[in-house]
Amino acid sequence: MRFVLLSLLVINTLFLSHAVHAGADAQQVFGLSEYVYIEELGVRYKAKVDTGAESASINAINAKVEKGHGKKDDLVHFDLVLPDNTLKSVTLPLSKHIRIKRRASDYDENEKDYSRRPVLELTLCIGGQSHKVDVNLADRRQFSKPMLVGSDPLTAFRALVDPSKKYLQDKSLCAKKADPEEHDE
Protein backbone atom coordinates (compact mmCIF):
# COMPACT_ATOMS: atom_id res chain seq x y z
CA MET A 1 0.00 0.00 0.00
CA ARG A 2 2.84 2.39 0.85
CA PHE A 3 4.47 1.57 -2.48
CA VAL A 4 1.25 2.41 -4.38
CA LEU A 5 0.85 5.73 -2.53
CA LEU A 6 4.49 6.60 -3.01
CA SER A 7 4.25 5.72 -6.71
CA LEU A 8 1.13 7.88 -7.14
CA LEU A 9 2.85 10.77 -5.36
CA VAL A 10 5.91 10.52 -7.61
CA ILE A 11 3.77 10.29 -10.78
CA ASN A 12 1.63 13.24 -9.67
CA THR A 13 4.75 15.34 -8.91
CA LEU A 14 6.30 14.50 -12.28
CA PHE A 15 3.03 15.32 -14.09
CA LEU A 16 2.65 18.68 -12.33
CA SER A 17 6.30 19.51 -12.93
CA HIS A 18 5.92 18.74 -16.63
CA ALA A 19 2.70 20.79 -16.85
CA VAL A 20 4.32 23.83 -15.21
CA HIS A 21 7.40 23.52 -17.44
CA ALA A 22 5.24 23.15 -20.57
CA GLY A 23 3.29 26.28 -19.60
CA ALA A 24 6.51 28.25 -19.21
CA ASP A 25 7.65 27.12 -22.65
CA ALA A 26 4.30 27.78 -24.35
CA GLN A 27 4.63 29.77 -27.53
CA GLN A 28 2.08 32.14 -28.99
CA VAL A 29 1.14 31.81 -32.63
CA PHE A 30 1.03 35.13 -34.49
CA GLY A 31 -0.53 35.71 -37.87
CA LEU A 32 1.06 37.62 -40.73
CA SER A 33 -0.55 40.75 -39.26
CA GLU A 34 -1.19 41.52 -35.58
CA TYR A 35 -2.39 44.45 -33.47
CA VAL A 36 0.44 45.95 -31.41
CA TYR A 37 -0.12 48.41 -28.58
CA ILE A 38 2.87 50.62 -27.73
CA GLU A 39 2.63 51.51 -24.07
CA GLU A 40 4.91 54.59 -24.02
CA LEU A 41 3.06 56.15 -26.97
CA GLY A 42 -0.50 55.10 -26.09
CA VAL A 43 -1.10 53.94 -29.67
CA ARG A 44 -2.24 50.67 -31.22
CA TYR A 45 -1.10 49.83 -34.76
CA LYS A 46 -1.79 47.11 -37.26
CA ALA A 47 1.64 45.56 -37.76
CA LYS A 48 3.19 43.38 -40.43
CA VAL A 49 4.88 40.37 -38.89
CA ASP A 50 8.06 39.74 -40.90
CA THR A 51 10.48 36.98 -39.93
CA GLY A 52 12.87 38.20 -42.64
CA ALA A 53 13.40 41.51 -40.84
CA GLU A 54 15.43 41.66 -37.64
CA SER A 55 14.00 44.61 -35.77
CA ALA A 56 10.72 46.42 -35.28
CA SER A 57 9.94 49.80 -36.82
CA ILE A 58 7.17 52.34 -36.46
CA ASN A 59 5.90 55.06 -38.75
CA ALA A 60 7.69 58.28 -37.81
CA ILE A 61 9.04 61.27 -39.71
CA ASN A 62 11.25 64.31 -39.03
CA ALA A 63 13.46 62.50 -36.50
CA LYS A 64 16.17 64.66 -34.97
CA VAL A 65 18.62 63.61 -32.27
CA GLU A 66 19.49 66.11 -29.56
CA LYS A 67 22.84 65.37 -27.94
CA GLY A 68 22.80 65.27 -24.16
CA HIS A 69 25.67 65.56 -21.71
CA GLY A 70 26.34 61.80 -21.82
CA LYS A 71 25.52 59.09 -24.33
CA LYS A 72 22.51 57.99 -22.25
CA ASP A 73 21.15 61.55 -22.25
CA ASP A 74 20.52 61.81 -26.01
CA LEU A 75 16.91 62.49 -26.97
CA VAL A 76 15.01 61.87 -30.20
CA HIS A 77 12.39 64.39 -31.31
CA PHE A 78 10.07 63.06 -34.01
CA ASP A 79 6.59 63.20 -35.45
CA LEU A 80 4.74 59.95 -34.91
CA VAL A 81 2.38 59.19 -37.79
CA LEU A 82 -0.80 58.00 -36.09
CA PRO A 83 -3.13 55.42 -37.69
CA ASP A 84 -5.45 58.22 -38.89
CA ASN A 85 -2.39 59.88 -40.58
CA THR A 86 -2.29 62.81 -38.15
CA LEU A 87 1.03 63.66 -36.50
CA LYS A 88 1.90 63.61 -32.81
CA SER A 89 5.14 65.30 -31.67
CA VAL A 90 7.10 63.00 -29.38
CA THR A 91 10.41 63.20 -27.51
CA LEU A 92 11.94 60.03 -26.05
CA PRO A 93 15.41 58.86 -25.00
CA LEU A 94 17.61 57.47 -27.78
CA SER A 95 18.66 53.86 -27.22
CA LYS A 96 21.10 53.63 -30.16
CA HIS A 97 21.35 53.93 -33.94
CA ILE A 98 21.17 51.05 -36.41
CA ARG A 99 21.98 50.63 -40.07
CA ILE A 100 19.25 49.22 -42.29
CA LYS A 101 20.24 47.87 -45.69
CA ARG A 102 18.32 49.63 -48.45
CA ARG A 103 16.79 47.92 -51.47
CA ALA A 104 18.86 48.39 -54.61
CA SER A 105 15.93 50.17 -56.30
CA ASP A 106 15.84 52.77 -53.48
CA TYR A 107 19.24 54.38 -54.07
CA ASP A 108 21.51 55.55 -56.87
CA GLU A 109 24.91 54.04 -57.61
CA ASN A 110 26.74 56.89 -55.84
CA GLU A 111 24.59 56.74 -52.64
CA LYS A 112 25.02 54.62 -49.51
CA ASP A 113 23.38 51.20 -49.56
CA TYR A 114 22.08 51.62 -46.01
CA SER A 115 20.13 54.12 -43.96
CA ARG A 116 20.91 55.06 -40.37
CA ARG A 117 17.90 55.10 -38.06
CA PRO A 118 17.38 56.12 -34.43
CA VAL A 119 16.23 53.33 -32.10
CA LEU A 120 14.00 53.61 -29.04
CA GLU A 121 13.39 51.04 -26.33
CA LEU A 122 9.59 50.64 -26.23
CA THR A 123 7.15 48.30 -24.54
CA LEU A 124 5.04 46.39 -27.06
CA CYS A 125 1.88 44.57 -26.03
CA ILE A 126 0.54 41.79 -28.26
CA GLY A 127 -2.16 39.39 -27.13
CA GLY A 128 -1.83 40.45 -23.48
CA GLN A 129 1.95 39.95 -23.31
CA SER A 130 4.26 42.94 -22.94
CA HIS A 131 7.97 43.08 -23.71
CA LYS A 132 10.51 45.91 -23.99
CA VAL A 133 12.15 45.78 -27.41
CA ASP A 134 14.21 48.01 -29.68
CA VAL A 135 12.08 49.85 -32.25
CA ASN A 136 13.55 51.98 -35.03
CA LEU A 137 11.90 55.04 -36.55
CA ALA A 138 11.14 54.89 -40.27
CA ASP A 139 8.89 56.65 -42.75
CA ARG A 140 6.43 53.80 -43.42
CA ARG A 141 3.73 55.91 -45.09
CA GLN A 142 4.22 54.10 -48.40
CA PHE A 143 3.76 50.66 -46.79
CA SER A 144 0.46 48.88 -46.14
CA LYS A 145 1.11 48.67 -42.36
CA PRO A 146 2.49 51.50 -40.19
CA MET A 147 4.50 49.07 -38.08
CA LEU A 148 6.78 46.11 -38.71
CA VAL A 149 7.61 43.40 -36.16
CA GLY A 150 10.76 41.44 -37.02
CA SER A 151 12.54 38.38 -35.64
CA ASP A 152 14.11 40.03 -32.56
CA PRO A 153 10.73 41.08 -31.07
CA LEU A 154 9.20 37.75 -32.17
CA THR A 155 11.91 36.00 -30.17
CA ALA A 156 11.14 38.17 -27.12
CA PHE A 157 7.47 37.13 -27.41
CA ARG A 158 8.45 33.47 -28.03
CA ALA A 159 6.16 33.64 -31.06
CA LEU A 160 5.62 31.24 -33.89
CA VAL A 161 4.24 32.69 -37.13
CA ASP A 162 1.47 31.19 -39.25
CA PRO A 163 1.65 33.17 -42.54
CA SER A 164 -1.72 31.78 -43.66
CA LYS A 165 -3.53 33.64 -40.85
CA LYS A 166 -3.99 37.24 -39.68
CA TYR A 167 -4.81 38.78 -36.30
CA LEU A 168 -4.68 35.61 -34.21
CA GLN A 169 -3.98 37.52 -30.98
CA ASP A 170 -6.81 39.22 -29.10
CA LYS A 171 -6.21 42.98 -29.24
CA SER A 172 -8.57 43.56 -26.31
CA LEU A 173 -6.08 41.88 -23.96
CA CYS A 174 -3.96 45.03 -24.21
CA ALA A 175 -6.98 47.36 -24.07
CA LYS A 176 -6.92 47.69 -20.29
CA LYS A 177 -3.50 49.28 -20.74
CA ALA A 178 -4.76 51.60 -23.49
CA ASP A 179 -5.87 55.19 -23.03
CA PRO A 180 -9.63 55.66 -23.49
CA GLU A 181 -8.98 57.95 -26.48
CA GLU A 182 -6.27 55.80 -28.06
CA HIS A 183 -5.83 55.82 -31.79
CA ASP A 184 -6.69 52.50 -33.38
CA GLU A 185 -6.48 51.67 -37.05
CA geometry: angle 5, 8, 24, nearest 5 deg: 145
Whether pLDDT at 177 is above 70: no
pLDDT digits (tens, 9 = 90+) for 120-175: 999 999 999 999 999 999 999 999 999 999 999 999 999 999 999 999 999 999 96
- Strand, helix or coil for residue 86: coil
pTM above 0.85, yes or no: no
Residue 49: CA count within 13 A, CB half-sphere: 24
pLDDT exceeds 60 at position 22: no
From CA 170, how far away is CA 50, in angstroms rounded?
19
